[in-house]
Amino acid sequence: MKNRFSWKVCTALSALMVFGSPLYVANADTKPRTHYLAANSENVRWGNIGKGDPVLTVNSGDIVTVEAITHHSGDDYERMIEGDAGVEDIFHWDHVEKNEALRGPGVHIMTGPIAVEGAEPGDVLEVKILDMKLRPNGNEKYAGKTFGVNAAANWGYLYGDMAEEPKKREVVTIYEMNSDGVTDYATALYSFKWTPQTDPDGKVHPTIDYPGVIVDHDTVEENFNVLKGVKVPVRLHFGTMGVAPKEADVVDSVPPSYFGGNVDDWRVTEGATMYYPVSVPGALLQVGDPHAGQGDAEINGTAIETSVTGDIQVILHKKADLDKKLNNLSYPLLENENEWVVHGFSYANYLAELGENAQKDIYNNSSIDKAMKDAAHKTKDFLMKGMDLTEDEAYSLMSVSTDFGITQVVDGNWGVHAVITKGQFGEAEQKTVGLRNAFDSFGAKVVWNTPKQTVTISYNGNTLAMTIGQTTATYNGEKIKLTAPVRLAGGKAVISDYSASFYQSVLSKTN
């Protein structure tokens, strides 16, 4: 790997940070910081995750603004690479030089690794996704616009099983995103059938079989009459995020597993929190494969693959201090305002279960049956250990209120997720706290406007303005979606403890 260069570190936060739920104030000596991790050829791994020198080292509670780049940018060089120095650097490949020469054995561009001080095997790493924004293209010809790619590829679920000829075809659709931060949608711009493409080394690629190949648009026929009148909801999320596994130094970025990785759950989005079991020193968090839209199953091979910049906060939970939900965690667990989401796979740990050739054999051994059974067992255990239910109680609840869905069937190790709603457990899982108390104790300034039913919270140079009952707010003047609205209870403004903790973290970012 290339030498890693230093990263940009913003000034240290001067006030207190709140960690976790229920809320408590961390020691001021923690001094959480905000870091910026740019995506370029020095700060990414292409096609693999795992052990290696970190490009950034942070403390528990630190916030990282991380740039994530889609590996499908080469499907439209003009709209998704040209003029963007970081993306040009990553994709640079001509007959003389090839940046990121090690591309494989998978496909995704992963920013990182990010090491967390003090992280050890047995710990759990919490990752809060505080913000996600589309990365505008760098070409002045398309100023202010962002584009993405959906590829109906050879690894898609119905490849070779289509009704129209040729049955084995790969079709790339370019989408344009329209976003004001609240009302987001994507529209299809054009599509084309993949034709054999020749890379700078002279190798011909008859199918989409190698990341970073730039499509020569003189060799394809662009169809601009596609999905007319259809607006696809934009749900920005990280398709691939996780920590390094212990079983190998270099691991294919495609199959997900206990360490997270290419989970491809659209719920891994702004407002969500992911928990990952740490199995190597430093945890080595890696982030990539950003998406603008995806349905459960990701059935044709990809989502709307695009580039995104996100703010994440990393919080380390030491093994000795784990609560009942996180104790002995052995899979990626998601939490948001209203849900817990358990992730199961055909193989809970394919690297250990399939032996020496696991990274190849996983592609021939996955099934929904296995993934469903794994998700069911994990969900039952979560309800029993995390919610103190008996086995019979858990099994009943799984049938009457838990939604099991197919996460993806295209990533080698197929996924099934279980959505457990918090609301059915009442205050036990959705506690409310007084808004003023929550933010006063945090050190923020809270101003209440009774006639307008608005509250303004200021902290660390940031301002969050909310109106009672509204699902949107403004953060530093920009419109944002709230994880949940502020409401009145007994004449007092209240907010969920999850939302209070989340927005304390948002307000802590140094801009």
Quick count: other Cβ atoms within 10 Å of Cβ 104?
A: 13
Q: Count how many domains the chain has.
A: 2
Domain final residue, candidates 390, 411, 428:
428
CA-closest candidate to residue 174, choices 284, 78, 58 = 78
pLDDT classification of 421: cutoffs 50, 70, 90 = very high
Over residues 127-170, the pLDDT tens digits come to 999 999 999 999 999 998 999 999 999 999 999 999 999 999 99
In a domain, 391, yes or no: yes
Within 8 A by CB and 6+ apart from 356, the residues are none
Q: What is the CATH number of the domain that holds 397?
A: 3.10.28.20
Say if residue 15's pLDDT is above 70. no
Average pLDDT for residues 375-388, to the nearest whole number? Answer: 98
Say if residue 414's pLDDT is above 70. yes
In a domain, 297, yes or no: no
Q: Residues 97, 99, 103, CA angle at the centre, nearest 5°?
A: 120
For residues 418 and 453, membership in a common domain is answered with no
pLDDT classification of 8: cutoffs 50, 70, 90 = very low
In a domain, 482, yes or no: yes
SS (H, E, C) 232-290: EECCCEEEEEECCCCCCCEEECCCCECCEECCCCCCCCCCCEEEEECCCCCCCEEEEEE
For residues 398 and 436, membership in a common domain is answered with no
Least confident span in 3-12, 71-80, 286-295: 3-12
> What's the Cα-to-Cα distance from 192 to each of 4, 11, 141, rounded to whole Å?
38, 47, 21
In a domain, 316, yes or no: no
Average pLDDT for residues 419-440, to the nearest whole number? Answer: 96
Least confident span in 1-10, 70-79, 266-275, 363-372: 1-10
pLDDT at 133: 95
For residues 464 and 442, membership in a common domain is answered with yes
pLDDT at 138: 96
CA-closest candidate to residue 277, choices 130, 377, 127, 407 = 127
For residues 407 and 383, membership in a common domain is answered with yes
pLDDT at 491: 87
Structure tokens, 277: 């079991």
Helix (H, G, I), strand (E, B) or coil at 413: coil
Say if residue 235's pLDDT is above 80. yes
In a domain, 277, yes or no: no
Residue 183 or residue 361, greater confidence? 361
Residue 426 has φ and ψ, to the nearest 5°, of 65, -145
Sign of CA dihedral 48, 50, 55, 61: positive
Over residues 81-121, the pLDDT tens digits come to 999 999 999 999 999 999 999 999 999 999 999 999 999 99
Sign of CA dihedral 188, 190, 191, 196: negative
Strand partners, 356: none
How many residues are given for the chain?
A: 511
Q: Residue 361 burial (CB < 10 Å; 0-12/13-18/19+)?
A: middle
Helix (H, G, I), strand (E, B) or coil at 509: coil
Helix (H, G, I), strand (E, B) or coil at 18: strand
Q: Residue 310 burial (CB < 10 Å; 0-12/13-18/19+)?
A: buried
Domain final residue, candidates 428, 450, 468:
428
pLDDT at 32: 80
Over residues 21-68, the pLDDT tens digits come to 333 333 334 558 999 999 999 999 999 999 999 999 999 999 999 999
pLDDT at 183: 64
Helix (H, G, I), strand (E, B) or coil at 199: coil
Q: Return the half-sphere exposure (C-beta side, CA atoms, 13 A cut-off) of residue 446.
A: 16
In a domain, 269, yes or no: no
pLDDT at 178: 83
For residues 371 and 403, membership in a common domain is answered with yes
11 close to 35: Cβ distance less than 8 angstroms: no
In a domain, 353, yes or no: yes
> Which domain does 393 fall in, by range?
338-428
Average pLDDT for residues 406-418, to the nearest whole number? Answer: 98
In a domain, 457, yes or no: yes
pTM summary value: 0.94
Average pLDDT for residues 272-293, to the nearest whole number? Answer: 98
Instruction: Name the pairing type of β-strands 56-58 and 109-116.
Output: parallel
pLDDT at 180: 64
Rounded Cα distance between 240 and 253, Å, is: 8
Rounded Cα distance between 188 and 120, Å, is: 45
Structure tokens, 157: 């679920």
Amino acid of residue 377: H
pLDDT at 241: 98
pLDDT at 181: 61
Structure tokens, 271: 């407002």
Quick count: other Cβ atoms within 10 Å of Cβ 269?
A: 17
SS (H, E, C) 163-184: CCCCCCCCEEEEEEEECCCCCC
Helix (H, G, I), strand (E, B) or coil at 89: helix
pLDDT at 30: 53
Domain final residue, candidates 428, 448, 468:
428
For residues 440 and 390, membership in a common domain is answered with no
In the chain, what is the straight-line distance between the N-terminal and C-terminal CA atoms, in Å? 31
Q: What is the CATH number of the domain that holds 492?
A: 3.30.457.10
